[in-house]
């Protein structure tokens, strides 16, 4: 009896596979292409993404769970973890960029000097944008400058992340 899992254990495994399949439904088509899925499973996942009827979606999720039993879930889990890790890094980079932009808009050269000290960046475009902040005549010019500052900061912080992926 030790070799055979109990009915409860098999049910837990099946529900875990169905939950993994449901996670895949929320992925974009580009992210789905990065996963090691067979064509039938990929088609079922894409079809589920377009369904709006509650009953049809429930049945499609069950079908995906059933199809997941035929594949090795470990490579899919590893690839999904890689995707979510990259997504978390992108969100963290965006948040850091927003924080630095807000500091620079509020404090000007003081915040820019702290940014340079923290990152070692020497971006003349960024310094030129900060120099132009006091000369903004209206909100539209300030928003345009804020976007340019954001892009420059995002470029610098993004290069730092790619150089040091820790």
Residue 163 is predicted with a pLDDT of: 58
Reference 35, options 98, 90, 78; nearest CA is 78
Q: Where are the alpha helices (DSSP H) in 54-138?
A: 54-68, 73-107, 109-119, 124-132
Q: Which residue has the tokens 């992926």?
A: 165
Full DSSP string of 19-62: HHHHHHHTS-HHHHHTS---HHHHHHHHHHHT---HHHHHHHHH
pTM over 0.85: no
In the numeric block, which tokens belong to residue 111? 């915040």
Residue 2 is predicted with a pLDDT of: 66
Q: To the nearest whole percent, how much of the chain has pLDDT over 70?
A: 95
Residue 8 is predicted with a pLDDT of: 95
Q: Which of 96-110, 116-130, 143-157 has the lowest mean pLDDT?
A: 116-130
In the numeric block, which tokens belong to residue 141? 């010019």
Reference 94, options 38, 157, 37; nearest CA is 157
Distance CA 23, CA 51 (A): 15
Confidence bin at 55 (pLDDT 50/70/90): very high
User: What mean pLDDT value characterizes the chain?
Assistant: 91
SS3 content of the chain, % helix, strand, coil (to 5): 80, 0, 20
């Amino acid at each position: 009896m030790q070799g055979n899992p109990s009915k409860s254990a098999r049910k837990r495994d099946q529900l875990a596979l169905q939950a993994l399949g449901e996670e895949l439904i929320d992925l974009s088509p580009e992210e789905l292409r990065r996963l090691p899925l067979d064509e039938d499973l990929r088609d079922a996942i894409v079809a589920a993404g377009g369904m709006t009827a509650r009953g049809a979606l429930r049945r499609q999720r069950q079908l995906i769970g059933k199809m997941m039993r035929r594949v090795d879930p470990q490579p899919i889990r590893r690839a999904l973890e890689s995707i979510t890790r990259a997504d978390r890094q992108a969100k963290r980079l965006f948040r850091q960029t927003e924080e630095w932009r807000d500091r620079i808009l509020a404090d000007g050269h003081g915040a820019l000097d702290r940014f340079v000290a923290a990152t070692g960046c020497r971006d003349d475009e960024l310094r030129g944008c900060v120099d132009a902040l006091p000369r903004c005549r209206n909100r539209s010019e300030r928003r345009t400058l804020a976007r340019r500052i954001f892009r420059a900061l995002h470029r610098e912080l993004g290069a730092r992340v790619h150089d040091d992926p820790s």
